[in-house]
Amino acid sequence: MAQAQSALAGIAVLDLANYGPGARCTRILADYGARVIKVAAPPGRAGAPAPIFHAYAARRGWQQAHINLKAPAGRDAFLALAERADVVVESFRPGTAARLGVGYEAVRARNPGIIYCATSGYGQTGPASGWSGHDLNYLAMGGYLHTGGRGPAGKPVLPGATIADAAAGGMHAALAIFAALLQRGQSGAGAYLDVSVTEGVLQLMSLHIDEHLATGAEPGPGHALLTGRYACYDTYACACGGWLAVAAIEPHFYRNLCRALDCAQWSERQFDDSLQEKVRADFAAAFLRRRRDDWVAALAPADTCVSPVYGIGELARDAHLNQRGAFVEAAHPEHGTFRQLAPLLAGMERGPSPLRAGDAAHSETAELLRGAGFGEAQLTALRESGSIA
């Protein structure tokens, strides 16, 4: 049942992040009902590639302000918006926001209750804080790449999703902001949030890291159940060339799987390390006898923890995901109507279809600054100086 009011209704967020973890964070906040204002340099000044129209849910629910933060008048315009905001999100290199005059101290001086979220790859302090990086770097330093699958010559396999940006960064930041908003509601105090994406990866890797810290073990590929040690938790090819994921961890699920594959001889030897290669070989031979979708139809409803390995096109056609409303229509002023992922996290409202996509070139700067008390003469001067667009 849809909520009567969105969780973040009435919360205003200024977003200085063009992409990566900060933009993932404000995507989440917007889909929970926050009013997100994307603050970007006027066109032609940023030096960054043009945004991809469908990225970040096609900018639905975001407003856009074009402000040149390097100009003193642009900085002052941003601070005027910050006076009326609840949250600021930035993803500059540590120290950059402060040098521009839009760091936490400058904003807090104008708005003591502000929740200021600084997202960075390695955190605002420490020997690595100044390093540049992207998703792959944070997954590498956080241990994710080492414990995952390996290619030829032991090469760590590139992940299929930007897990660090999306979860260790974006969801990490959104969760921290939710907590800070809750605390502010009780104390009235704002907060400074130092969101390190790498530390978010450590949180995701906590099972392995805590095992090492407690026992001295060195988790890696094939070390434990979840990294490929046992045949009951693996992927298998099928007759059609498709693949299945098998995660029959609990003994009763595993016994069901063995019976269905005519491998009952292994049903009581699930965690016998001396037999795993034989079990794996028999499972692999069995799965090659039928097509993937035939196996899914037979095994998925039979308590075996089997699912298809989908390509993106396949999941977009999946009956279950479509019945659950995982996809919606979006309407873009230039690119027309297309499908996209719905607001998916629990408690998000999906709204009427089609959802209105945003246009990165559209500016609502003047309207937003009028709301902050700027008059027409001030707006004209800001435009003429190149401070806003």
Strand partners, 233: 247
Determine the structural domain holding residue 240 and report its residue range.
Answer: 225-309
What mean pLDDT do residues 100-104 have? 98
Within-domain flag for 268: yes
Catalytic hit among 165, 172, 282, 332? 165
Both 199 and 236 in one domain: the answer is: no
In a domain, 215, yes or no: no
Please choose, from the candidates 181, 166, 307, 176, the residue with its C-alpha nearest in 3D space to the C-alpha of residue 247.
307
Verify that 27 and 111 share a domain, yes or no.
Answer: yes
Region 127-138: mean pLDDT is 97
Residues 17 and 135 in one domain: yes
Q: Is the pTM of this model over 0.75?
A: yes
- CA dist 301 and 251 (Å) reads 17
**263-284 residue pLDDT tens:** 999 999 999 999 999 999 999 9
pLDDT at 46 over 60: no
Strand ordering across the sheet containing 336-341: 336-341, 327-332, 355-356
Catalytic-role residue among 134, 212, 335, 362: 134
**Residue 50 included in any domain:** yes
Least Cα distance to 77 among 384, 376, 377, 366 occurs for 366
Residue 369 falls inside a structural domain: yes
Instruction: Say what the pLDDT of residue 1 is.
Output: 39
CATH of the domain at 264: 3.30.1540.10
Within a domain: 337 = no
Q: Are residues 176 and 234 in the same domain?
A: no
Residues 155 and 250 in one domain: no
Residues 370, 288 share a domain: no
The predicted-structure confidence for 328-345, as pLDDT tens digits, reads as follows: 999 999 999 999 999 999
**44: helix, strand or coil:** coil
Please state the domain count of the chain. Answer: 2
In angstroms, the Cα distances linking 293 to 205, 219, 253, 319 are 32, 34, 20, 13
Active site residue 165: yes
Domain boundary among 309, 332, 349: 309
**C-alpha dihedral sign at 64, 161, 146, 213:** positive
